[in-house]
């Protein structure tokens, strides 16, 4: 947002708004929130399988689930592949402790990652990644924008909050 300096802190721990001097947080969580907080659902987690177009080469897309299962799968700590395929067994492939690392490997052409569409959309649009199957998986919890309720207006915080709502909130998943 022009004219506003943002400081981003990425952590899996839950921020304490007062102690950590956080104005707005994005949280992957379930409702309800304490009334102390104002919240807005940003989006559901719609997981899609993605790969580098260099890995896919001349393979016809979209792939069937059977053909996708034969590809090198890139796993992260969430381990969504078994649910995606409707199986319970362990699936082969490289395992990463963070989704970002699995996506880096996918971008490098090392396999197929499964990730939240909202996080890979820019790479899909730019052609750095391709969605290899029409199948997707909706998982919980959802992503929420959260801020502490205050009685006074904070112009910069309000501007960022409103920008996030206008640009990040999805109303339906196709």
CATH superfamily of 45-139: Periplasmic binding protein-like II (3.40.190.10)
The share of the chain scoring above pLDDT 70, in percent, equals 97
The share of the chain scoring above pLDDT 90, in percent, equals 65
Local structure of 141: helix, strand or coil: strand
**Domain residue ranges in the chain:** 45-139
Q: Take residue 136 and report the two structure tokens written for it.
A: 């997707």
Q: Assign 174 a pLDDT band (cuts: 50, 70, 90).
A: very low
Q: Take residue 55 and report the two structure tokens written for it.
A: 């890995």
pLDDT in tens, 2-59: 788 888 887 777 778 888 888 999 988 888 888 999 999 999 999 999 999 999 999 9
DSSP for 35-76 reads TTEEEEEEEEEEEEEEE-HHHHTT--SSPPHHHHHTS-EEE-
Q: Assign 173 a pLDDT band (cuts: 50, 70, 90).
A: very low
């Amino acid at each position: 947002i022009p004219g506003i300096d943002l400081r981003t802190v990425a952590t899996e721990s839950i921020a304490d708004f007062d102690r950590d001097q956080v104005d707005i947080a994005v949280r992957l969580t379930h409702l309800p929130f304490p009334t102390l907080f104002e919240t807005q659902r940003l989006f559901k987690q719609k997981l899609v399988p993605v790969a580098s177009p260099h890995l896919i080469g001349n393979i016809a897309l979209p792939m069937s689930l059977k053909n996708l299962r034969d590809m090198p799968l890139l796993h992260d700590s969430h381990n969504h592949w078994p649910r995606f395929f409707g199986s319970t067994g362990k699936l082969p492939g490289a395992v990463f402790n963070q989704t970002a690392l699995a996506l880096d490997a996918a971008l490098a052409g090392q396999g197929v990652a499964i990730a939240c569409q909202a996080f890979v959309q820019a790479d899909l649009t730019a052609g750095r990644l391709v969605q290899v199957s029409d199948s997707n998986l909706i998982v919980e919890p959802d992503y929420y924008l959260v801020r502490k309720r205050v009685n006074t207006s904070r112009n910069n915080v309000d501007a960022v909050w409103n920008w996030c709502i206008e640009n990040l909130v999805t109303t339906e998943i196709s």
